Amino acid sequence: MKMRVIGTLVIGLSSTLLLTGCFFEGEQSIEKMDAPQDVDYIDQNGEEAEMNAGETAEDTSEEASEEATGTTSRQLYLLDANGMVVPQTLELPNISSKEVATQSLQYLVKGGPVTELLPNGFEAVLPAGTEILGLNLKDGTMIVDVSKEFADYAPKDEQKILQAMTYTLTQFDSVERIKLWINGHEQEVMPVNGTPISSGVSRADGINVYASDDADPVDSKAVTLYYPAQNDNQEFYYVPVTTHLNTSNDQSYESIVKALVEGPAFDLPLLSAFNDEAELKGTSLEDGVLTLSFNEALLSNQEKQSVSKHVMKSLVMTMTEQADVEAVEVQVDGVDQVYSEEGSPYAEPVTRNDIIGADSL
């Protein structure tokens, strides 16, 4: 498979406006705010449970204590060498209490416990010394209370900090958006560059936001595309980029896949996972499964009828960002069964969980 670098347009993230627009572990409520009467929590295994407001996250069972050894894979949003906000899966220590959301944010702090775990070329995003004072989840909104050290960042990093926090927490089904408090005080705007945040921040606001000169401001749609990139050790990871694409509702899947095949239209070291001649022939959606039909040029090895893992990851990570898509099935003209590069058949539709393992994304 040929990986190709494409770049034509760059627009600074710090000057970009926000685009239009499961898994919360029981956290200590913020003392200075009204606690909700009932709060939904999710334990370390991702199972929902209900905890009344009078109970605390420190109530642990014998079973929970036994689980507090070893590590668990967690997805964190960090900065790569190019200053892009990128998901990485790291092994974090198991904790006996239900404070995994707090733990995830603590591992976003520069100079914090994530330091020894950082992949090559990556760094944490929250200012050094930031403390997570409390989390409170109500009706899908996670209120995050941080210490005053949080405000010690450069203006150019404001969007990156918002995006890393938002995507780290909203990857969990219980959390739809976040709101920010500093030392117990609600924030209407970000403390350095004044980004409005009074209504909260969600994934609809985008990540690594880049404008497109070709997009019609009325008929375009904001989408998040995942492109491969490489670090200095030639290790691959996947960078989400939010941009606008010209598309109609009945052709949105086609437009998104076409953008992936063509490669990133940005002056950044991002790659296209697809062969030049790859072409989407058709799409269909049924019961959450999006079927994508391609010509034979999609294959990385025609004799083995295999599809590159980079193609599958780009497709699945991108398409499952769409609300109606839970899994992706790839078909190739004239091929009864497609395989992974390791020789395993893609006999079932591929979900996001299938392609995100303990290794980096």
Q: What is the pLDDT of residues 281-324, one digit of tens each?
A: 999 999 999 999 999 999 999 999 999 999 999 999 999 999 89
pLDDT for 163 equals 98
pTM: 0.80
Average pLDDT, the chain: 82
**Residue finishing a domain among 187, 203, 219:** 203
pLDDT for 334 equals 93
Provide the 10 A C-beta neighbour count for residue 230: 15
DSSP code per residue over 157-207: GHHHHHHHHHHHHHTSTT-SEEEEEETTEE-SB-TTT--B-TT-EEGGG-S
Q: Which residue reads 């599809």 in tokens?
A: 307
Would residue 360 count as lying in a domain? no
Q: Are residues 220 and 251 in the same domain?
A: yes
Would residue 246 count as lying in a domain? yes
User: Nearest 10 degrees: CA dihedral of 104, 109, 113, 116?
Assistant: 110
State yes or no: pLDDT of 60 exceeds 80.
Answer: no
Q: Say what percent of the chain tops pLDDT 70.
A: 76
**Residue finishing a domain among 149, 168, 203:** 203
pLDDT for 241 equals 95
What's the domain range around 170?
Answer: 19-203
Q: 334 is written with which tokens?
A: 């004239």
Q: Of the candidates 227, 286, 277, 276, which has an alpha carbon nearest to the alpha carbon of residue 253? A: 286
Q: Are residues 222 and 298 in the same domain?
A: yes
Would residue 361 count as lying in a domain? no
Q: What is the pLDDT of residues 68-124, one digit of tens each?
A: 679 988 899 999 999 999 999 999 999 865 788 999 999 999 999 999 999 999 999
Q: What is the pLDDT of residues 193-245, one digit of tens each?
A: 999 999 999 999 999 998 776 766 667 788 999 999 998 888 899 999 999 88
pLDDT for 6 equals 44
CA 272: distance to chain centroid? Answer: 19
CA 18: distance to chain centroid? Answer: 16
Distance CA 196, CA 132 (A): 21
Q: Are residues 128 and 183 in the same domain?
A: yes
Q: Are residues 269 and 198 in the same domain?
A: no
Q: Are residues 242 and 341 in the same domain?
A: yes
Q: Are residues 103 and 176 in the same domain?
A: yes
**Residue finishing a domain among 148, 175, 203:** 203
The torsion angles phi and psi of 146, rounded to 5 degrees, stand at -120, 165
Q: Are residues 176 and 30 in the same domain?
A: yes
